[in-house]
Structure 1
Amino acid sequence: MSPPFEMPVLERPEFPDQTFDIRDYGAVKMAEDESHKNTDAFHRAIEAAYDAGGGKVLVPEGDWLSGPIHLMSNINLHVSEGATIYFSTDKEDYLPVVKQRHEGVEAFNYSPMIYAYQLSNVAITGKGVLDAQGEHWWEWYRELGAPPRAIASKVPLSRRDFGKGSGMEGMRPNFVIFWESENILVEGVTLNDSPMWNVHLVYSNKIIVRDIRINSLMAPNGDGVVIDSSKDVLIEYNHFETGDDAVVLKSGLNEDGLNINIPTENVVVRNFEARDVRTGSGGVVFGSETSGGIKNVYVHNALFDGSDRGVRFKTERGRGNVVENIYIHDIEMRNITYEAINFNTFYTGPQVTGPSPQFRNIYISDIHIDGVPNAIVMTGLPEKWLENINLKNIVVASSEEGVRLTRVKDVTFENIEIHSTKRAMIVEDAFELTMKNVTLEDSFDGTPLLFRGLHTGAVFLSDFPLDQIEFEDGLSSDILLEEPQVQEW
């Protein structure tokens, strides 16, 4: 199914038909010497392939120990079925530092396990396993918490007290980073126990991530695929069990992201499942780092089972820019811990200041939700409401609280069925709200629909019974208009 915006057809990168076996360059299996690090053997094989015009660097069946692997252009790192690369637990092996983006802020830090810097035509393929052995990195997070990224974003990179390059300890690397690269393929492999983020796509384009498994349930900030100021991206047929967001779209934090100002755009995410996605995370997430903007995203055909949240939009003051033209449909959600569909513009609290971000032009349809405390929660900023949000063909089979809308404009609910324990729907400060074929059923001792807020008005109800509505804050049926304004999409 084609996305509802213009996007190039992505093709697999092609490589010369020649193979460079790491054993031919000095690699030794752990079965022969469990302490032998094959870092140099990997690099010799990669350099030989590069010098020959490119090709497949083969990791045969067996267990292999290595430090970080730095890829080169025209290289396919192929991890065979039955092969596992275990990455060293000695932090010194990840020096010298390399450039990366740590949770939206540029820094120099320990190398990721696999690093692709300013490359073209590059791949990681095969049915093998990459194991980061991340426990020794997680200890830092438990002891020290998160580095002060918001403070670091206020000063130029050369003067940031942020990361190993500036003398700071405690910042964990990501597992795999593609930086300013293009024509990228990640396919087939399994990633286990990342230090934090797994596949991180930064300032890159023409990317396919297909049929991979990510297991990072124990990893703090163990996000699966992170699309960060990148474009023309296809993410499909993947399985996630992650210690944070399964698939997340970002574009930089606050001053740093606003100055760089590179959006994430033209992204398709489809045919995937997220199970037991934890630590406040979601199946597909937008933000919280949105300062470069996010636009033209198409998500469809997914299962979220046992995740903390389902579809999540999160940002706050200071981020600025716009998240827009987002299309999401055909998602099954079960056993969600917090919200199934959530828009949160106060991510770390209302006290934060700075440029206000905007969510607008978002279309969500054909969603089935069964088992959630809060089904649909949308909260806009007082100075910048959520705008043009469209929900269609959604069934909430079981929830505690149904719908909660706060500071929204030009919102459409069409063919919506909500079953909840508490009041099914509360609307506070909404203008131009259209409801068509909406069914609200709850166990609340009163009406299922409440309107309140001094700025609520221009509500279009085509067929909702008036005796199921309650008004507060001086509102009355005067806010209701007769003709529904339903946009076809």
Structure 2
Amino acid sequence: MIDIKKRDSLRTLGLSTCALGLLSAAGCQTSPAATAGYVKADQARWQQADDIIAGIARTDFPNRDFPVTEFGGKGDGKTDNTDAVARAITACADAGGGRVVIPAGRFNTGPVHLKSNVNLHLEKRAVLSFYTDPERYLPAVLTRWEGVELMGYSPLIYALEQENIAVTGEGILEGNGSNSEWWPWKGKWKNTAWELDPETDQSNTRNPLFQMAEEGVPVSERRFEKNFLRPPFFQPYRCKRVLIEGVTIRNSPFWLVNPVLCEDVVVRGVQCVSHGPNSDGCDPESCNRVLIEKCLFDTGDDCIALKSGRNNDGRRLNTPIQNVVIQDCQMRAGHGGVVIGSEISGGARNIFARRCHMSSPVLDRGVRIKTNSVRGGLIENINVRDIVIGQVKDVFVINFYYEEGDKGDYLPEVRDLHISNMVVDNAERVFHLRGFERAPISGVTLHNVNIKHAKELGTLENVSSIEIKGVFLNGEPLSL
């Protein structure tokens, strides 16, 4: 059932903002198309984004440097610098904070655990190269894997319950994931061993970690004798005031930037380049007040995915991803540009994305929401504007049938999704919107959107209402 409200469709695409000149170059023409009421509401929404940015508590470090070379480190590409980096971090923290400096050179290391008031700084031409031997990432730490807590491999860079921490600089963080290291573990969770009744062991069809979470096994007991759950690259856990800026992250075992249950996070100017399986670029989970800006994403999975926990484990923590601003980013390869879900059981609210450019022959989706009735989650106040997309497969995706589909009792709900001022050069499909008959998709508005060329309209299934205004497809006003 589709009830399309069309108001004053225009022959020209009226855009209120041509940010960074991108929309102007793509064919933006200013026009007084929007009503005064819409303009006022739009201004109020985006003032909220500015207020979120202004309210983020920022990192601040003393002007002291602790070069790892003064603690036994050598950038010769041969030396194991794990202990040298740890000694420098401890000395920096004990002195009250400052920068732990990785100078030019190739510094091999195992996991790096940050402490409060420490800025891990990579100078230009510095490479911090991480070993791929899984045993180096033990003993197990409290972590989250695809939205479920466990005691697992340490992330490559990790911090637990620290404050005022950073990773900065012009250097490279090299994860060394490849077709022979880390990445072949994809799908091998079926071989992750834990104690089960042999008569009821379902590990051949269900992820054992997810099964433990559904059964309420305490997190401290979610340990595995044989573990094929790849660690993320950078994961601050329950931290406050976090900054990652300037660095290039390459070839991650798993997700690249993955703050979990953090407050006041800034991800700025980071180059995320990793084409392995599950190489999500930036996945904040259950965080509050997050700014992601001026980043490049060229990834093997979602460029940015906002998450809040999977199924019962997400409902147990009951912490949404909220107050997030994404701006001035570039998305190339990936499963999705700006994505919410699929681990979204804690909900998402107050999400803003603006002035981004997306394009790649292998970019699957522009704006994507994925969930189901096992995940559930309330997704509300989502705002996307001033987006230029060159080439993409699907422009807009809201899929309630992701993975398990409609097999649970937790109906997903999307409220107040506003998309405006978007230009798309070339797409295969405009829509892939699939709601449930018992929970249709509603509350979606598309204003001032120009899809210059698309092969087909796509799928609209169980969509109760979409409001469109100034939306064009293949040079004609969109009619549904």
Indicate if the aligned counterparts of 1:365 and 1:392 stay in contact, CA closer than 8 A: yes
Task: Tell me how far apart the structure 2 counterparts of residues 156 and 38 of structure 1 sit (CA, whole Å).
Answer: 39
1:64 matched to 2:107? The reply is yes
What aligned pairs does 1:154-233 form with structure 2 within 5 A after superposition?
154-158=214-218, 165-217=223-275, 219-233=276-290
Q: Which amino acid in structure 2 is aligned with residue 242 of structure 1?
A: T
Indicate if the aligned counterparts of 1:103 and 1:149 stay in contact, CA closer than 8 A: no
Q: Which has the larger radius of gyration?
A: 1
Task: Tell me how far apart the structure 1 counterparts of residues 265 and 339 of structure 2 sit (CA, whole Å).
Answer: 19
Give the aligned partner of residue 42 of structure 2. none
Q: Which amino acid in structure 2 is aligned with residue 22 of structure 1?
A: V
Give the aligned partner of residue 384 of structure 1. 439
Give the aligned partner of residue 346 of structure 2. 292
User: How big is the shift at 1:308?
Assistant: 1.1
User: How big is the shift at 1:379?
Assistant: 1.7
Indicate if the aligned counterparts of 1:152 and 1:161 stay in contact, CA closer than 8 A: no
Instruction: Check 1:289–1:353 CA distance in 2 against 1; reply closer, same or farther (3 A cut).
Output: same
Instruction: Check 1:332–1:56 CA distance in 2 against 1; reply closer, same or farther (3 A cut).
Output: same
Task: Tell me how far apart the structure 2 counterparts of residues 287 and 395 of structure 1 sit (CA, whole Å).
Answer: 26
Q: Which amino acid in structure 2 is aligned with residue 172 of structure 1?
A: R
User: How big is the shift at 1:409?
Assistant: 3.1
User: How big is the shift at 1:368?
Assistant: 1.2
Give the aligned partner of residue 170 of structure 2. 127
Give the aligned partner of residue 401 of structure 2. 346
Q: Which amino acid in structure 2 is aligned with residue 176 of structure 1?
A: F
Which of 86, 92, 105 matches 2:129? 86
Task: Tell me how far apart the structure 1 counterparts of residues 189 and 210 of structure 2 sit (CA, whole Å).
Answer: 16
Task: Tell me how far apart the structure 2 counterparts of residues 325 and 46 of structure 1 sit (CA, whole Å).
Answer: 40
Unmatched segments (≥5 aa) in structure 2: 1-45, 191-205
Q: Deviations over 1:84-114 (max 9, x none)?
A: 0110122111110111110011111111110
User: How big is the shift at 1:407?
Assistant: 2.0
What aligned pairs does 1:70-469 form with structure 2 within 5 A after superposition?
70-135=113-178, 136-141=181-186, 147-158=207-218, 165-217=223-275, 219-277=276-334, 281-306=335-360, 307-337=363-393, 339-350=394-405, 352-402=407-457, 404-419=459-474, 439-440=477-478, 449=480
User: How big is the shift at 1:259?
Assistant: 1.2
Task: Tell me how far apart the structure 2 counterparts of residues 159 and 392 of structure 1 sit (CA, whole Å).
Answer: 45
Task: Tell me how far apart the structure 2 counterparts of residues 373 and 316 of structure 1 sit (CA, whole Å).
Answer: 25
Q: Deviations over 1:393-421 (max 9, x none)?
A: 0111111112542222342011111129x
Give the aligned partner of residue 56 of structure 2. 10
Indicate if the aligned counterparts of 1:319 and 1:354 stay in contact, CA closer than 8 A: no
Question: What secondary structure sits across from 1:393 in the alignment?
Answer: strand
Instruction: Check 1:124–1:383 CA distance in 2 against 1; reply closer, same or farther (3 A cut).
Output: same
What TM-score comes out, normalization by structure 1 length?
A: 0.81
Q: Which amino acid in structure 2 is aligned with residue 59 of structure 1?
A: I
Q: Which amino acid in structure 1 is aligned with residue 445 of structure 2?
A: N
Task: Tell me how far apart the structure 2 counterparts of residues 149 and 94 of structure 1 sit (CA, whole Å).
Answer: 18
User: How big is the shift at 1:351?
Assistant: 5.1
Q: Which amino acid in structure 2 is aligned with residue 167 of structure 1?
A: E
Question: What secondary structure sits across from 1:408 in the alignment?
Answer: coil
Task: Tell me how far apart the structure 2 counterparts of residues 195 and 92 of structure 1 sit (CA, whole Å).
Answer: 14
Question: What secondary structure sits across from 1:222 in the alignment?
Answer: coil
Instruction: Check 1:388–1:159 CA distance in 2 against 1; reply closer, same or farther (3 A cut).
Output: closer
Indicate if the aligned counterparts of 2:327 and 2:355 stay in contact, CA closer than 8 A: yes
User: How big is the shift at 1:166?
Assistant: 2.4
RMSD: 1.9
Q: Which amino acid in structure 2 is aligned with residue 110 of structure 1?
A: Y
Indicate if the aligned counterparts of 1:290 and 1:321 stay in contact, CA closer than 8 A: yes
Q: Which amino acid in structure 2 is aligned with residue 303 of structure 1?
A: H
Indicate if the aligned counterparts of 1:107 and 1:157 stay in contact, CA closer than 8 A: no
Question: What secondary structure sits across from 1:200 in the alignment?
Answer: coil
User: How big is the shift at 1:381?
Assistant: 1.5
What TM-score comes out, normalization by structure 2 length?
A: 0.83
Q: Deviations over 1:369-406 (max 9, x none)?
A: 12222112222122212221111001111111125422
Q: Which amino acid in structure 2 is aligned with residue 331 of structure 1?
A: I
Give the ranges of 4+ consecutive aligned residues of structure 1 lying more than 3 Å apart after TM superposition: 1-6, 142-150, 159-162
Task: Tell me how far apart the structure 2 counterparts of residues 290 and 356 of structure 1 sit (CA, whole Å).
Answer: 12
Instruction: Check 1:168–1:354 CA distance in 2 against 1; reply closer, same or farther (3 A cut).
Output: farther
Q: Deviations over 1:51-77 (max 9, x none)?
A: 111111011111100000000000000
Instruction: Check 1:133–1:92 CA distance in 2 against 1; reply closer, same or farther (3 A cut).
Output: same
Indicate if the aligned counterparts of 1:161 and 1:168 stay in contact, CA closer than 8 A: no
Q: Which amino acid in structure 2 is aligned with residue 319 of structure 1?
A: R
Task: Tell me how far apart the structure 2 counterparts of residues 9 and 185 of structure 1 sit (CA, whole Å).
Answer: 15
Instruction: Check 1:98–1:349 CA distance in 2 against 1; reply closer, same or farther (3 A cut).
Output: closer
Task: Tell me how far apart the structure 2 counterparts of residues 103 and 299 of structure 1 sit (CA, whole Å).
Answer: 23
User: How big is the shift at 1:348?
Assistant: 1.4
User: How big is the shift at 1:318?
Assistant: 1.1
Give % identity: 35
Out of 97-106 and 350-359, give the one that drifted further: 350-359
Which of 66, 70, 73 matches 1:24? 70
Out of 232-241 and 328-337, give the one that drifted further: 328-337
Question: What secondary structure sits across from 1:93 in the alignment?
Answer: helix
